[in-house]
Amino acid sequence: MRHSGATRSGSNLVLTGPTGARPGAVGFLTDTTLCIGCKACEVACKAWNGLPADDFGLTGFSYDNTKDLGAATWRHVAFIERFDGGDGRRPTDLQPFQSDWLMLSDVCKHCVEAGCLQACPTGAIVRTEFDTVVIQQDVCNGCGYCLPACPFGVPALSATDHKAHKCTLCYDRLKDGLEPACAKSCPTDSIQFGLVGELLARARGRVETLQGRGVAGAYIYGDRTVGGGGGIEGLNAFFILTAPPEVYNLPARPELPQRKTMPSYLTTIGTAVALGVAAFFSLRERGGA
């Protein structure tokens, strides 16, 4: 699929609808109900981006030997087995589409208001003309400020070049009018690439269908209500989930760490003033004495 050559229309935020995605923004809809856990996305990502195999070893965590996103792992398929209430029984009647063995292809969320970008002191992390968030490797100095600034724990420092790395939403492919490698390789269209506005409309329809067919728990993770609140204003890479976010190791109520900085500053200033005043009076009293 060639995308429509999305570019950002102006630099002003247009915060409308359930996400703050700007017109022309592109992203991913990752629909877990269609995911078969084949990991083609992980391999296609590494192959296209020239990322090495890393962290080699059998984990024993179901079929997840990747564990998490990292400096050399920009797609990660999580496997969650949810069978046994301890009584040894297993379900055989299943809800339509994915159930009981949950699989989710995790990725950088390309947040509308990105914590990593705001925290980056060198300007290495930029918002591109596609409204994606990219770390410029020639500028990054490896300070690591972006790591704690991401509510999802996505960027990671490489032990090889000591710089921060994460999904670029295949910036180079977008420049050539190609869809990202992971979406291209997904056999069941669990990963869909496109304009965020269109994907969101599609996702809403899909959730409605799922609920109509008995998947009562289906919902969108990544709009302002769920997953994209707390100052993030929505995720350009969002998900359809059928279980609570924590089940997938996603934060239930992520928020921008920067939102906590103003109260912290004010507290600090207030404390400083209070201490100053206290010191002034105590010194004056001593001087008076």
97 or 221: whose CB is closer to other proteins?
97
φ/ψ of residue 204, rounded to 5 = -65, -45
Return the residue of 187, 212, 244, 276 that touches other proteins, per CB under 8 A. Answer: 187
How far does CA 220 lie from the centroid of its chain? 13
- Residues 133-167 as b/e (b if ≥16 CB within 10 A, e otherwise) read bbbbeeebeebbbbeebbbbebbbbbeeeebbbbb
Neighbouring CB atoms inside 10 A of 230's CB total 18
Q: Taking the complex as a whole, how short is the minimal distance between the CB of residue 205 and other proteins, in angstroms? A: 12
Judging by DSSP bridges, how do beta strands 191-195 and 219-221 pair with one another? unpaired
**Which SS3 state, helix, strand or coil, does residue 182 take?**
helix
Return the residue of 54, 68, 129, 255 that touches other proteins, per CB under 8 A. Answer: 54
Q: Taking the complex as a whole, how short is the minimal distance between the CB of residue 236 and other proteins, in angstroms? A: 25
Q: Taking the complex as a whole, how short is the minimal distance between the CB of residue 107 and other proteins, in angstroms? A: 17
Scanning residues 97 to 116, which ones bind other proteins (CB under 8 A)?
A: 97-103
φ/ψ of residue 152, rounded to 5 = -110, 0
Return the residue of 2, 10, 11, 92 that touches other proteins, per CB under 8 A. Answer: 92
In angstroms, rounded to a whole number, what is the distance separating the alpha carbons of residues 229 and 18?
A: 10
Q: Which stretch binds other proteins (CB under 8 A): 21-29, 78-86, 108-116, 156-164?
A: 78-86
Q: Taking the complex as a whole, how short is the minimal distance between the CB of residue 91 and other proteins, in angstroms? A: 8
Q: Which stretch binds other proteins (CB under 8 A): 42-50, 127-135, 231-239, 253-261?
A: 42-50
In angstroms, rounded to a whole number, what is the distance separating the alpha carbons of residues 48 and 176?
A: 14
Q: Taking the complex as a whole, how short is the minimal distance between the CB of residue 17 and other proteins, in angstroms? A: 26
Q: Does 126 bind other proteins (CB under 8 A)?
A: no
Number of residues this chain uses to bind other proteins (CB under 8 A): 42
Task: Pull the structure tokens for residue 137.
Answer: 């490797």
Task: Tell me which residue of 129, 197, 120 sits closest to 166, measured CA to CA.
Answer: 120
In angstroms, rounded to a whole number, what is the distance separating the alpha carbons of residues 223 and 201?
A: 12
Binding residues for other proteins, rule: CB under 8 A, are 34, 36-40, 42-43, 46-47, 52-58, 60, 62-63, 65-66, 81, 83-84, 88, 90-94, 96-103, 187-189
